[in-house]
Amino acid sequence: MAGFDDLASERSKAQFDVEEMKVIWAGSRHTLEVSDRISRLVANDPVFRKDTRTMLSRKDLFKNTLRKAAHAWKRIIELRLSEEEAAELRFYVDEPAFMDLHWGMFIPTIKGQGTEEQQQKWLPLAYKMKIIGCYAQTELGHGSNVQGLETTATFDPQTDEFIIHSPTLTSSKWWPGGLGKVSTHAVVYGRLIIDSKDYGVNGFIVQLRSLDDHLPLPGITIGDIGMKFGSGAYNTMDNGVLRFDHVRIPRDQMLMRVSQVTREGKLVQSNVPWQLVYGTMVYVRQKIVSDASCALSRAVCIATRYSAVRRQFGLQSNGIETQVIDYKTQQSRLFPLLASAYAFRFVGEWLKWLYMDVNQRLQASDFSTLPEAHACTAGLKSLTTSATADGIEECRKLCGGHGYLCSSGLPELFAVYIPACTYEGDNIVLLLQVARFLIKTVSQLGSGKEPVGTTVYMGRVEQLMQCHCAVQKAEDWLKPSVILEAFEARSMRMSVASAQNLAKFDNQEEGFLELSADLVQAAVAHCQLIVVSKFIEKLQQDIPGKGVKGQLEALCNIYALFILHKHLGDFLSTGCITPKQASLANAQLRSLYSQVRPNAIALVDAFNYTDHYLSSVLGRYDGNVYPKLYEEAWKDPLNDSVVPDGYQEYIQPILKQQLRNARL
């Protein structure tokens, strides 16, 4: 039967060891074992079913999410799951919920911005979930502009308390996940006011609801901000609104690692940079990059399997039509996304390492790598989430009409994913941060301050401003050194050109605003260079397993040459390559697609996703698409009755009217 046979035959064609590729994808044999075991545990538990999600009303959907979260927590306790296993469980439960903000933002904020004493007081309560917290930063009037927040925290020396207040409508907290209906506590960001002087934004731990009856405490107004894009999707989350009317909290509930307020009302700065108040965002942006590879690989897995099952046109001698995956246009849209999923996986791995390294340095009072960590997390968060959101939509189109059905799993994946382009920093705003970092780095060249980390290449500015790409034949594009130089030269030249244009302005801030669209492109070029270089570095590691390294090399080259093709204007206009070399790159790309084609199904099998996680009829492991699509359609509540509700009120009268008109 079509589907079963197609995918089995595809799997038999694979030219590499899929089991070893699973280890590479997971990160280690241990991680693969944990992920495999937990994914099956979730798939086999009826409470974690997902199939009715898009048909539930908001209230039922939300209650179902609460049920799942409570059940997840119960299983975590019963099975004594480690933090790693619990995180895998959350991943495979696959539903945004208040727990994400509690574990992903509230706890990390206390850890990163609280003093030892504050951590000792609050963390045990949070770890045992005796309190549930969220991250209340964004307001109705300001999200990107954190320094523009209006909530006030005024110190009252009489009572040794802060008075938390929402002075305007636009100061209402707006968006925090978990806030609307669940959280008992929040880290609230507000302006620290002492003796009428504004000391800027800081974090405060505020209790919101009673631990007895869950009612908001006096002076606090809370609710959900309403339905969001798509059915199911992010509507499992209670993004909330919050207002304070002179709510008092003890002084020791200001997070005081960065600066302290004494009993006398004096502000004392510690030796850590004030930017640490933004530290949780660096942590979460790093996590979001890893998540991007998961979301993109999931969509790619669905589209690749379906493309091997789906046949259209091109009747062959054996009477069978062509698999759509064999069309070159399908390959040229699908395989770069497959390559991007792997590329984002490896850059995510590296970013996790970078974050851990920065954290260790911070503990030892070495703050030197914080600007680089901020630029990398901001830039890569922006690059990977934008590409993933676009990629999921492309996968939907790659699945033709059936991709538009909820049972394909793609519409809900798209709807739940796209806010990643906005939350934790709007993607353009974040690229502008990278641009500032690049301009600063360029301005310091030749000053004796050597560029570090991902900007080391800028130290070779003279060479990179003049070099000429050495490619003479298509295969030359397979050399990592050739690819790296082209990407480095493009990024260097775009940053230098931006810096030179900026220097023409008397007022640098005005110049930055005027040139911001170009600056964003320079930032994108730098971030793409990071992704390419981290993929190349990954290939320099010991990679066991028959044929595994070869497949990864092909994917790395596809990613790089696809980006080169997509941004050809940059590469040509900066003179990094010639039009002839561009056309050789394109020829090489086509040849790489042919190389990946027989391995495509095995390359998506290596993600090791269960059918439960994919929740897609089109992406089923067994390829049994058509009977299941047919079966799925009959489950729609609209098919509960043969004649629909409303027939007598609305259809019959029309038909009768038509009959009468016809008689006239």
Ligand X SMILES: Cc1cc2nc3c(=O)[nH]c(=O)nc-3n(C[C@H](O)[C@H](O)[C@H](O)COP(=O)(O)OP(=O)(O)OC[C@H]3O[C@@H](n4cnc5c(N)ncnc54)[C@H](O)[C@@H]3O)c2cc1C
Mind telling me the catalytic residues?
Answer: 424
Compare residues 421 and 499 and give the one whose CB is closer to ligand X.
421
Q: Which stretch binds ligand LCNEECSX (CB under 6 A): 132-140, 260-268, 448-456, 484-492?
A: 132-140
Pick one of 3, 112, 133, 177: the residue that binds ligand LCNEECSX (CB under 6 A): 177
Asked whether position 287 contacts ligand LCNEECSX by CB under 6 A, the answer is yes
- Which of ligand LCNEECSX, ligand X, none lies near 312, with the C-beta cut-off 5 to 8 A by kind? none
| CA distance to 341, 375, 450, 518, per residue, from 527 (Å) | 16, 9, 20, 14
Asked whether position 595 contacts ligand LCNEECSX by CB under 6 A, the answer is no
Cα separation, 443 vs 448, whole angstroms = 11
* Residues between 53 and 72 with contacts to ligand LCNEECSX, criterion CB under 6 A: 69, 72
Q: Which stretch binds ligand X (CB under 6 A): 320-328, 378-386, 403-411, 422-430?
A: 422-430
Structure letter (DSSP) for residue 136: E
Cα separation, 21 vs 604, whole angstroms = 10
Task: Give, for 119, the enclosing helix (H) or strand (E).
Answer: helix 116-127
Asked whether position 98 contacts ligand X by CB under 6 A, the answer is no
Q: Which stretch binds ligand LCNEECSX (CB under 6 A): 94-102, 304-312, 571-579, 580-588?
A: 94-102
Cα separation, 187 vs 340, whole angstroms = 35
State the nearest-atom distance from the C-beta of 191 to ligand LCNEECSX, in Å.
Answer: 13
Structure letter (DSSP) for residue 221: E
- Which of ligand LCNEECSX, ligand X, none lies near 239, with the C-beta cut-off 5 to 8 A by kind? ligand X
Asked whether position 99 contacts ligand LCNEECSX by CB under 6 A, the answer is yes
Compare residues 517 and 654 and give the one whose CB is closer to ligand X.
517
Please state whether beta strands 161-165 and 152-156 pair in parallel, antiparallel, or not at all (unpaired): antiparallel
Q: Do the beta carbons of residue 173 and residue 136 sit within 8 Å?
A: yes
Cα separation, 428 vs 523, whole angstroms = 10
Please state whether beta strands 185-194 and 152-156 pair in parallel, antiparallel, or not at all (unpaired): parallel
| CA distance to 159, 218, 250, per residue, from 155 (Å) | 9, 19, 10
Cα separation, 325 vs 398, whole angstroms = 9
Q: Nearest-CA neighbor of 252 among 104, 102, 103, 120?
A: 120
Distance of CA 493 to the CA centre of its chain: 29
Cα separation, 118 vs 307, whole angstroms = 54
Pick one of 258, 281, 515, 525: the residue that binds ligand LCNEECSX (CB under 6 A): 281
Asked whether position 152 contacts ligand X by CB under 6 A, the answer is no
Cα separation, 574 vs 464, whole angstroms = 11
Q: Do the beta carbons of residue 530 and residue 380 sit within 8 Å?
A: yes
284 contacts: CB under 8 Å, gap ≥ 6: 104, 105, 108, 424
Q: Which stretch binds ligand LCNEECSX (CB under 6 A): 26-34, 118-126, 136-144, 405-413?
A: 136-144
State the nearest-atom distance from the C-beta of 177 to ligand X, in Å.
Answer: 4
Q: Nearest-CA neighbor of 617 among 414, 395, 403, 415?
A: 403
- Which of ligand LCNEECSX, ligand X, none lies near 234, with the C-beta cut-off 5 to 8 A by kind? ligand X
- 323: which 2 tokens? 């698999």
Task: Give, for 244, the enclosing helix (H) or strand (E).
Answer: strand 240-244
Compare residues 93 and 432 and give the one whose CB is closer to ligand X.
432
Pick one of 104, 177, 379, 409: the residue that binds ligand X (CB under 6 A): 177
Tokens 């003179």, located at residue: 575
Asked whether position 284 contacts ligand LCNEECSX by CB under 6 A, the answer is yes
Compare residues 202 and 595 and give the one whose CB is closer to ligand X.
202
Asked whether position 278 contacts ligand X by CB under 6 A, the answer is no
State the nearest-atom distance from the C-beta of 283 to ligand LCNEECSX, in Å.
Answer: 9
Q: Do the beta carbons of residue 286 and residue 400 sit within 8 Å?
A: no
Compare residues 73 and 626 and give the one whose CB is closer to ligand LCNEECSX.
73
* Residues near ligand LCNEECSX, by CB under 6 A: 69, 72-73, 86-87, 89-90, 93, 97, 99-100, 103-104, 135, 137-138, 143-147, 177, 275, 278, 281-282, 284, 287, 370-371, 374, 423-425, 429, 433, 436
* Residues near ligand X, by CB under 6 A: 101, 135-138, 143-144, 175-177, 234, 239, 419, 422-426, 428-429, 432, 516
